[in-house]
Structure 1
Amino acid sequence: MCVNHKKGTLLMTTIHQDMLADLFEKLVTQFIKENLESIMKAEIKSFMENEQEKPNSRNGYYQRSLQTKFGTIEDLRVPRDRNSEFQTHVFEPYQRRDGWLEEAVIQMYKAGMGTRDVARFIESMFGSHYSPTTVSNITATVLEDIQQWQSRPLQKRYAVLYLGGLYVKLRRSRVSGEVVYFAMGIDEDGHRQILGFYVGGQESANGWRDVLKDLYKRGAQEVLLGVFDGLPGLDDAFREVYPKADVQHCIVHKVRSTFPKIRVQDKTEFLDDLKTVYHALDHELALAAFDTFKDKWGKKYPKEIQSWEEQLDTLLTFYKYPPQIKNAIYTSNPIERMNKEFRKRLKPMNSLTNIDAVEKIIYLDIMDYNERYANRVTTGFGQPGVKEKLVQMFEERYPTTATSVE
């Protein structure tokens, strides 16, 4: 009997909660309905008072429904005039939703759901039939935003410019991997933002040259340091656009490319010795550590040591900069971590149907990323003296020309 009593109590509690939820929804939708109708009454009153060109008058109301995120409003009374010229600003003609569902479609698409998945979900949850084409058309509104964002003016100065690529599966005549070029900048104050992205083809120095020229054209004309991997030709492309900037090759990329070539029994010791080079306290000590490293491993791994020696200048550039920001600039990890986030978002989609689909997904993710980091200061950049040192470096490389006033 006790068990049955508990089950009965639980059932009654559930029913009671459902009734409260229904009551709350009805109260909210009724409140919204009354306020919308009041707004529309004020609108038509103002419209009629300003109507001067030809005779007109009110013509009662018509009723319609409107879906909102709080529930469906039934029998909404919309005023009308005899000349059928009045249009409320509360919603567009023939609009049956207040825009929240379309926004939800965009958010689901951004989260990695395909157009067919979104369409099925909308229909199962809300009873609204959205075809994959309709979903695609809704998300296409983002394309206009992308064009504006891609052409927006940039700041003049960036202390650091990170470059990195991400391959996505893109369907043209067949599915193939194509690169998305990303440029990320850190300004003098240490704020990190994605400056632009560019889709298409295979990663190349020529592709990066076009990216860099676009950044320069949009205003990013003074850069101290470019951080990227050792893609052939990229150094020259970067220096062509930013001849006064330094180049820092990503040490993490270099270590990763070297590691597979080292025998298993040597890996730990080899890496520990290598760390003494880029963990040295200053540039001079780093060079001395490399000489020791070379003497120890040069005969056993001559090609690997030679490769490091040839790139040593660009691998140790970070020593020119304040030590507080070393961890932020000796590797391209910031842009790599971002790419990892994007790759995770894109994973549910086996392939994307066209460049527009790629751009929509990437752009929506970038908006989230830039918003998250808009007010964050990158590690080390907020330390005392760092900004002053960076400003000094800017002034030395890009001196401000004083204008005389007569």
Structure 2
Amino acid sequence: MGKPKRDPNSVDLANKIIEQYQPETVEDMQNALKDIFGPMFETMLKGEMDHHLGYSSNEKGNKRTEKRRNGYGKKTVKTSTGEVELEVPRDRDGSFEPHVIPKRQRDVSAIENKVIAMYARGMSQRDISSTIEDIYGFSVSHEMVSNMTDHVLTELEEWQTRPLQPCYPFVFVDCLYATIRNDYETKKYAVYTMLGYTMEGKKEILGLWLNETESKHKWMQIFDEIKTRGVEDIFFLSIDGVSGLEEGARAIFPAVTVQRCIVHLIRNSLKYVPSKDYKPFTAALRKVYGASSLKACRSAFETFQQQWSSYPGAIDVWKRHFSHVEQLFDCGSAIRKIMYTTNAVESVHSSYRKVTQKGAFPNENALLKVLYLRTKELEDKWEGGHIQQWAMVMNQLLIHDHLKDRVLKYLE
């Protein structure tokens, strides 16, 4: 493949810059561009003024009209190579509205989007300010960073109150904890996350909520809220076992099937098992919840109880919650694979922790801004994708008599 040809005008301009400035480093080249930006912007602004008045600066205007030049004003703008001072032409009646650099705009480097992107990745305001100064050569105060990211709050509020779809076949709920600084003390706040799978097999975060603790009352309020936002039905709800959450969910969505997370049950039972037995113990459990049928599951559970009877605490965890294991076999394997664990929402929390574990947040809004921006990144990543084997999942949902009519209702 031949070498692509450069625009001769561009090459000529580059040669003139090198000849004039003799740059030896990247910094020298940035300084040269900085010197060029000023005259370039000023020339463009003068051209806009000529168009606005209807005559050039070399021509005489009508002195009897108000459309006349009125000298220049000073303006410092921030560019990708640093601050540049400009002389901006003015007219007598103040009607000139430049487009290349609008009035009151002092940043032409698209810095705001860069600040928001850094904020979304968990960088502190201090770190953002230092990074901007290192890269672009001008400082950004903490207040300015806060003001830039505050623009997200309006968008966040709209997102939090947006209408939701009428049906989410699968919903996963969980909490993570983040630190908020109140005056001179710090406190852990629970972040309530609700992840849903749509009828089309797409992931959607239904919302984010903050509370000082995780409680069944808060979860019940959240379920009530999503109902008012348009959710009519949830087929399966996967939970980690918060006391009262199952009853609270059924109070709002009576037909929902609530599934305890098998992975959480494993963790709870391992508290009663010595570390040397972790592997054989979990391998025996896998034969229970991973059995091919309910009959095989019950048989494996009998064997499991006999094999590990020396750890009654661990056995008791599974006895108390065995109904949640049994109900898995009411569904096909593709559905079981989705509903048996809350890993889907825990994966979201893993992404959130990357931006929340770097220190305390000054207030609730600061925490919500970061989480919302992270959510938008996740949703962009999910765009266009589907849950694996979703067609098989939908076919298996239609097989069940108690689900068939509900599925068809929302497929129409």
Q: Could you tell me which of 199, 219, 228 is aligned with 1:208? A: 219
SS of residue matched to 2:170: strand
Of residues 157-166 and 112-121 in structure 1, the stretch that sits farther from structure 2 once superposed is: 112-121
Distance 1:115 1:71 in 2: 20
The aligned residue for residue 386 of structure 2 is 377
The aligned residue for residue 161 of structure 1 is 171
Of residues 169-178 and 288-297 in structure 1, the stretch that sits farther from structure 2 once superposed is: 288-297
The aligned residue for residue 18 of structure 2 is none
Distance 1:333 1:265 in 2: 25
Distance 1:246 1:98 in 2: 54
Q: Could you tell me which of 359, 382, 385 is aligned with 2:368? A: 359
| Distance apart, 1:55 and its partner CA | 6.1
CA deviation profile, 1:136-165 (whole Å, cap 9, x unmatched): 222212111111110011111111101010
| Distance apart, 1:255 and its partner CA | 0.5
Q: Is the 8 A contact 2:334 2:392 kept in 1?
A: no
| Distance apart, 1:249 and its partner CA | 1.1
Q: Is the 8 A contact 1:185 1:193 kept in 2?
A: yes
Which fold has the larger relative contact order, with Cα–Cα distance below 8 Å and residues 6 or more apart in sequence?
Answer: 1
Q: 1:39 to 1:332 in 2, by over 3 A?
A: farther
1:206 maps to a residue whose letter is H
Gaps of 5+ in 1: 1-12, 46-53, 402-406
| Distance apart, 1:190 and its partner CA | 1.6
The aligned residue for residue 319 of structure 1 is 329
Q: Is the 8 A contact 1:165 1:181 kept in 2?
A: yes
1:355 maps to a residue whose letter is E
Q: Could you tell me which of 245, 262, 273 is aligned with 2:256? A: 245
CA RMSD of aligned residues (A): 3.1
| Distance apart, 1:23 and its partner CA | 6.2
Taking every aligned residue pair, what percent have the same amino acid on both sides? 26
Q: Could you tell me which of 350, 373, 397 is aligned with 1:390? A: 397
| Distance apart, 1:94 and its partner CA | 2.6
* Pairs within 5 Å for 1:182-193: 182-193=193-204
TM-score scaled to structure 2, two decimals? 0.80
| Distance apart, 1:291 and its partner CA | 2.3
Distance 1:286 1:37 in 2: 81
Q: Could you tell me which of 136, 139, 145 is aligned with 2:146? A: 136
CA deviation profile, 1:345-377 (whole Å, cap 9, x unmatched): 22222x111111111111111111111112211
| Distance apart, 1:284 and its partner CA | 3.0
Distance 1:143 1:74 in 2: 32
Q: Is the 8 A contact 2:181 2:361 kept in 1?
A: yes
Q: Could you tell me which of 121, 135, 143 is aligned with 1:111? A: 121
2:388 maps to a residue whose letter is T
Distance 2:177 2:221 in 1: 18
Q: Is the 8 A contact 1:169 1:175 kept in 2?
A: yes
Q: 1:40 to 1:102 in 2, by over 3 A?
A: farther
| Distance apart, 1:92 and its partner CA | 4.3
Distance 1:184 1:379 in 2: 16
Q: 1:68 to 1:356 in 2, by over 3 A?
A: same
TM-score scaled to structure 1, two decimals? 0.81
Distance 2:33 2:399 in 1: 62
CA deviation profile, 1:83-124 (whole Å, cap 9, x unmatched): 213333444433211362222222222222222332333344
CA deviation profile, 1:217-258 (whole Å, cap 9, x unmatched): 111222111111111111111111221111111111111111
The aligned residue for residue 330 of structure 1 is 340
* Pairs within 5 Å for 1:290-329: 290-297=301-308, 299-329=309-339
Q: 1:94 to 1:18 in 2, by over 3 A?
A: closer
Q: Could you tell me which of 24, 34, 48 is aligned with 1:15? A: 24
Distance 1:126 1:24 in 2: 13
Q: Could you tell me which of 144, 152, 155 is aligned with 1:145? A: 155
Q: Is the 8 A contact 2:82 2:137 kept in 1?
A: no
Q: Is the 8 A contact 1:91 1:98 kept in 2?
A: yes
2:311 maps to a residue whose letter is Y
CA deviation profile, 1:14-66 (whole Å, cap 9, x unmatched): 82777666667777887776666656655666xxxxxxxx9642426635443
